[in-house]
């Protein structure tokens, strides 16, 4: 009983169980003759994972230290534009430049919010609009192409049937992040900062350095996703080639993160992203409109937002539906 | 009243008196406004009829959403990412019902925007759910529902039903007058009513407001209701401008509105700010856009400048607080 409670109480385990259940459901439907997993479904799921995964991971790292980096779409788009604009002759250089922009943009945001003691939402909102603005200026408000199609071919070349360069990199990034959070001092400092910043500071954790580092990492992860996405499509657009904000937030939250507590974890987030990618591919195979997927994501977000609300327990207690101690007098 | 009289009893050092007379944020704001004014007047063509018209039209649409956004920001809920989509959905509702009479279409449009926001306000006010996540969830749900309903089509407004909104009164476009009316109403509600004071109180200290007996959930819900109301006015102005409704018509208005709110000096942390400030913020951003355009900068520079101006506004707020 205790083991069950522990597994269900842990957000990451819950996410992996949900992923398993969804996979079983789709496999079951597949057996009944409904074609949920057509040819190439695994590849398609992992390609989506490669696009949204690093973005969700970056957000999860900031949510782990109880901050919220909302600049993801801006950096995703800017990095794509930088990579394509500067990588016309040497795509490697373009990618490096995009990563540099990611590290720098993220670190500056982290520095500003630490130095001025500001909330992460307003600062990264300013960052979001500025990054978008830079992408517009860089491309002259146009979609730019990468003439070297070999880059896209290399990016999209299937490896072992279901993987591609992009998705292998995404899996690697998750593995590195999970290892760092679980087994290194940096990871423990991050968890401490997210649990109680004051106590962490008293205990000797350099919370300011942790915050700056995490924002630099999130910026880099957004940039990796944006640059590689642009390379796989051989194009970049300042208005963004894909809406990453909603899927990234939904994935992190599905992965067991709470907006009010620092409970985000890389492995849980990976499960969250996979659930969304599986849903997207499955619903498309079942010929459902993309809006159904959108509505499902919206509903998930709304349900999690409500269940995470600190005052929910109080109201449940009042209605006689819960016995939580939090339900004491208002 | 008692709270205000306390500092007056304490002797103020000379330097403090100096800062009280001209607070640094007031000085920065006055200097920036002065510089902008000079820049506008020295920009060839700024005072031309066409420029002014475009200036007023741009400011009117974003301005109404910004008035609504101010209620959300002051109530301590940062911003709503769903006001742009609400604008689009409301323009659709108006266009869909415009054949059944203007009164019904207006009523349904206003009601829709209010209901969409009141539901979010209820969730945030009752459960203290994260306002950012709730508004992003609402954005996705509204967009999905609207696209399922219309199949991403443009719905056209029945002919002539909104022509009065395109006219002018005493040389001023009606949209500008509507904006001024919204600003006056919003300012009156937020500044001079008990509800408005409750919004400020909830925004500045949620727990204290609750302890003082304020029904916090009602205040937050009503603040979102007002945001919905002002957003619906923007949606109707948009429907009038394009003679149509589409879910994408409000795209980006949430960002432009929060830019106006922040540039105006309303505190992003809540509890401080006014509709009048947001109006000034929106006017400043619209003026910068027109100046950039007239001075030969391409549209992309407007995006960059809006971003930088918002960033600067956030930094100035942080600097003053630190």
Overall number of domains in chain A:
1
Domain of A190, CATH number, reads: 1.10.3470
Measured between beta carbons, the chain B residues lying within 8 angstroms of A311 are 126-128
Mean pLDDT of A123-151: 91
Is the distance from CB of A117 to CB of A198 less than 8 angstroms? no
Interface with B, mutate which of A71, A123, A126 (most B CBs under 10 A): A126
In a domain, A151, yes or no: yes
Report the percent of chain B where pLDDT is more than 90.
56
In a domain, A100, yes or no: yes
Q: What are phi and psi of B270, to 5 degrees?
A: 95, 170
Model confidence pLDDT, tens digit, residues A34-65: 766 766 788 989 999 999 999 999 999 999 99
What is the pLDDT, as a whole number, of residue A324?
45
Mean pLDDT of A314-320: 77
Interface with B, mutate which of A74, A85, A118 (most B CBs under 10 A): A118
What the block records as the tokens of B125 is 């006010």
Model confidence pLDDT, tens digit, residues B48-106: 888 888 889 889 999 999 999 999 999 999 899 999 999 999 999 999 999 898 899 99
In a domain, A36, yes or no: no
Which has the closest alpha carbon to B138: A266, A43, A300, A105? A300
Model confidence pLDDT, tens digit, residues A143-191: 999 888 888 888 888 888 889 999 999 999 999 999 999 999 999 999 9
Indicate the pairing of strand A235-236 with strand B172-173: unpaired
Q: Given a cut of 50, is residue B238 above it in pLDDT? A: yes
Residue with the bigger pLDDT between B71 and B151: it is B71
Residue count of chain A: 330
Which has the closest alpha carbon to B113: B151, B143, B83? B83
What is the pLDDT, as a whole number, of residue B218?
96
Residue range(s) defining the domain that contains residue A142: 2-31+42-288
How far apart are the C-alpha atoms of B40 and B290, rounded to whole Å? 9
Pairwise CB contact (< 8 Å): B123 & A295: no
How far apart are the C-alpha atoms of B105 and B96, rounded to whole Å? 8
Measured between beta carbons, the chain A residues lying within 8 angstroms of B144 are 291-292, 294-295, 298
Mean pLDDT of A246-264: 83
**Least CA distance to B304: which residue of chain A?**
A133
Mean pLDDT of A6-16: 74
Gyration radius (Cα) of chain B, Å: 20
Q: Given a cut of 90, is residue A4 above it in pLDDT? A: no
Considering only the beta carbons, identify the residue of B134, B145, B298 that sits closest to A302: B134
What is the pLDDT, as a whole number, of residue B274?
95
Residue with the bigger pLDDT between B192 and B26: it is B192
What is the pLDDT, as a whole number, of residue A56?
96
In this prediction, residue B197 has a pLDDT band, given cuts at 50, 70 and 90, of: very high
Residues 46-85 of B with CB under 8 A from A: 78-79
Measured between beta carbons, the chain A residues lying within 8 angstroms of B307 are 126, 128-134
Mean pLDDT of A250-260: 83
Judged by average pLDDT, the poorest of A260-264, A302-306, B234-238 is A260-264
Mean residue pLDDT across chain B: 88
Measured between beta carbons, the chain A residues lying within 8 angstroms of B310 are 125-126, 129-130
Q: Hey, is the C-beta of B108 within 8 angstroms of any chain A C-beta?
A: no
Q: Hey, is the C-beta of B310 within 8 angstroms of any chain A C-beta?
A: yes
- What's the whole-model pTM score? 0.87
In this prediction, residue A6 has a pLDDT band, given cuts at 50, 70 and 90, of: low
Q: Given a cut of 70, is residue A322 above it in pLDDT? A: no
In a domain, A324, yes or no: no
In a domain, A305, yes or no: no
Residues 6+ apart with CB under 8 A from B23: none
Q: Hey, is the C-beta of A288 within 8 angstroms of any chain B C-beta?
A: no
How far apart are the C-alpha atoms of A293 and A284, rounded to whole Å? 9
Within B151-205, residue ranges assigned H as helices are 174-192, 194-204
Considering only the beta carbons, identify the residue of A112, A141, A253 that sits closest to B300: A141
What is the pLDDT, as a whole number, of residue A296?
87
Outline where DSSP puts E strands in B79-235: 155-156, 168-169, 172-173
In a domain, A216, yes or no: yes
Residues 6+ apart with CB under 8 A from A61: A177, A190, A214, A217, A218, A221, A264, A266
Quick one: chain A helix, strand, coil %, rounded to 5?
A: 75, 0, 25
How far apart are the C-alpha atoms of A300 and B1, rounded to whole Å? 46
How far apart are the C-alpha atoms of A323 and B15, rounded to whole Å? 56
Outline where DSSP puts E strands in chain B: 155-156, 168-169, 172-173, 244-245
Gyration radius (Cα) of chain A, Å: 21
């Amino acid at each position: 009983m205790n083991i069950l409670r522990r597994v269900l109480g842990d957000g990451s385990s819950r996410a992996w169980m949900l992923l398993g259940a969804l996979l079983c459901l789709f496999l079951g439907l597949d057996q009944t003759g409904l074609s949920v997993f057509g040819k190439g479904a695994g590849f398609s799921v992992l390609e989506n994972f490669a696009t949204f995964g690093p973005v969700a991971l970056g957000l999860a790292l900031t949510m782990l230290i109880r901050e919220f980096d909302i600049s993801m779409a801006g950096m995703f788009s800017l990095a794509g534009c930088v990579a394509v604009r500067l990588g016309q002759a040497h795509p490697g250089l373009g990618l490096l430049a995009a990563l540099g922009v990611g590290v720098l943009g993220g670190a500056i945001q982290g520095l500003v919010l630490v130095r001025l003691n500001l909330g992460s939402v307003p600062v990264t909102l300013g960052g979001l609009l500025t990054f978008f603005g830079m992408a517009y200026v860089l491309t002259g408000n146009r979609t730019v192409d990468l003439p070297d199609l070999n880059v896209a071919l290399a990016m999209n070349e299937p490896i072992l049937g279901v993987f591609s360069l992009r998705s292998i990199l995404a899996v690697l990034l998750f593995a590195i992040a999970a290892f760092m959070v679980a087994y290194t001092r940096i990871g423990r400092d991050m968890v401490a900062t997210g649990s109680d910043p004051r106590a962490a500071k008293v205990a000797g954790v350099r919370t300011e350095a942790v915050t700056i580092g995490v924002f630099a990492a999130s910026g880099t992860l957004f940039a990796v996703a944006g640059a590689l996405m642009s390379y796989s499509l051989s194009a970049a657009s300042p208005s963004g080639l894909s809406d990453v904000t909603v899927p990234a937030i939904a994935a992190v939250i599905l992965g067991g993160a709470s907006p009010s507590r620092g409970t985000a974890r890389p492995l849980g987030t990976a499960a969250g992203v996979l659930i969304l990618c599986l849903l997207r591919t499955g619903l498309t195979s079942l010929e459902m409109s993309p809006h159904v997927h959108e509505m499902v994501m919206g509903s998930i977000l709304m349900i999690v937002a409500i269940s995470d609300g600190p005052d929910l327990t109080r109201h449940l207690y009042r209605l006689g539906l819960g016995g939580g101690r939090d339900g004491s007098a208002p | 009243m008692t709270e205000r009289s306390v500092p007056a009893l304490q002797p103020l050092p000379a330097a403090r008196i100096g800062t009280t007379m001209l607070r640094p944020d007031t000085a920065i704001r006055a200097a920036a406004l002065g510089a902008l004014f000079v820049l506008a007047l020295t920009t060839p063509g700024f005072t031309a009829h066409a420029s002014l018209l475009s200036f007023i039209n741009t400011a009117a649409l974003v301005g109404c959403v910004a008035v609504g956004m101010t209620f959300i920001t002051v109530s301590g809920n940062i911003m709503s990412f769903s006001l742009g989509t609400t604008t689009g959905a409301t323009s659709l509702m108006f266009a869909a019902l415009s054949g059944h009479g203007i009164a019904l279409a207006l009523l349904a449009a206003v009601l829709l925007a209010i209901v969409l926001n009141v539901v979010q306000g209820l969730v945030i006010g009752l459960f203290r759910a994260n306002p950012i996540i709730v508004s992003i969830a609402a954005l996705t749900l509204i967009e999905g529902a609207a696209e399922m309903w219309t199949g991403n089509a443009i719905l056209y407004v029945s002919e002539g039903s909104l022509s009065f909104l395109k006219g002018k009164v005493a040389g001023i476009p009606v949209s500008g007058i509507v904006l001024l009316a919204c600003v006056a109403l919003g300012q009156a509600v937020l500044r001079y009513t008990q509800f408005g004071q409750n919004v400020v109180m909830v925004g500045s200290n949620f727990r204290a407001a609750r302890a003082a007996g304020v029904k916090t959930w009602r205040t937050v819900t009503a603040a979102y209701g007002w945001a919905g109301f002002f957003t619906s006015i923007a949606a109707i102005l948009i429907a009038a401008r394009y003679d149509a409704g589409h879910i994408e018509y409000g795209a980006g208005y949430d960002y432009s509105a929060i830019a106006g709110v922040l540039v105006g000096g309303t505190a992003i942390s809540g509890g401080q700010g006014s509709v009048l400030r947001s109006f000034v913020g929106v006017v400043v951003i619209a003026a910068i856009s027109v100046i950039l355009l007239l001075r030969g900068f391409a549209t992309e520079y407007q995006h960059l400048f809006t971003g930088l101006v918002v960033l600067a506004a956030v930094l100035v707020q942080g600097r003053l607080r630190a």
